[in-house]
Amino acid sequence: MQRVKWNIELKGHIYPCIVSFKKMKTIRVKIRDNYLEVSAPVGTSEKYICDLIYENEEDLYARLSSYVPYFDLKDGGYVYIFGKKYQIVVRDIKKKQCAIHGDSIYVYTSYIENALGIYLSQILYEYLKTRTAEYLPLFNRSMPRIQVKQYKGRWGSCYDQLNLVTFNFSLVYLDKELIDYVIVHELCHFIEPNHSPRFYAEVKKRMFDYKKRMKILEEKHV
């Protein structure tokens, strides 16, 4: 996979643009933290990509300028948990523990990132395990092993021979209906290990509104 980087001007503002050339048929443009991430078929020209971006300049600039990170890890900062924004309140009593009270999440150590990472991994794992078990009757198979990992470019992976599904830690920031879509998506890979029309037919059998959820998820950043 080849990666290149250049700057592009949108509405008088300069933004980095990172382009990855892959074996694919269409161009995808995603909004990241103050930059554009483009995936394009191998051999696509810079001019073609730029023309496509400028055709959507209004929309892309609006999304870039309104981009909100999932967290600001400091006392008085915030973190999104299952789509809801919580204010971070630090009460340093030397314990790597966290607790949600109302619209705030209390962190009982000055090591905010470490404590929150442990806490968020735990609650995401429990949600994934519970929801996977609830969806399993639609798949007629045994409970797979579940792991939470850090990924840069995907929300999950299915390993049929290992009876294992891994999920991206960043899912914890998203609405639960999007997490549920990723769960169903990955479980369907036990049936169809690809993204063919047959695969999406299996997804639709189990989640009739998957296209709506998938479209929303495509706008989220990993």
Residue 197 CB coordination number (10 Å): 9
SS (H, E, C) the chain: CEEEEEEEEECCEEEEEEEEEECCCCCEEEECCCCEEEEEECCCCHHHHHHHHHHCHHHHHHHHHCCCCCEECCCCCEEEECCEEEEEEECCCCCCCEEEECCEEEECCCCHHHHHHHHHHHHHHHHHHHHHHHHHHHCCCCCCEEEEECCCCCCEEEEHHHCEEEEEHHHHHCCHHHHHHHHHHHHHCCCCCCCCHHHHHHHHHHCCCHHHHHHHHHCCCC
| pLDDT given for residue 19 in this prediction | 94
Cβ neighbours of residue 84 closer than 8 Å, sequence gap 6 or more? 103
Task: Provide the pairing of β-strand 98-101 with 145-149.
Answer: unpaired
Query: Which domains, ranges and CATH numbers included, belong to the chain?
Result: 2-65 (no CATH), 71-118 (no CATH), 123-218 (3.30.2010.10)
| pLDDT given for residue 197 in this prediction | 96
Which tokens hold the place of 166? 């891994």
| pLDDT given for residue 33 in this prediction | 77
Helices 112-135 and 176-188: angle between axes, nearest 10 degrees: 60
| pLDDT given for residue 101 in this prediction | 97
| pLDDT given for residue 171 in this prediction | 98
Per residue of the chain (222 residues), what is the pLDDT tens digit?
788 999 999 999 999 999 999 988 899 898 887 899 999 999 999 999 999 999 999 999 998 888 888 999 999 999 999 999 999 999 999 999 999 999 999 999 999 999 999 999 999 999 999 999 999 999 999 999 999 999 877 999 999 999 999 999 999 999 999 999 999 999 999 999 999 999 999 999 999 999 999 999 988 877
| pLDDT given for residue 93 in this prediction | 95
pTM of the model: 0.83
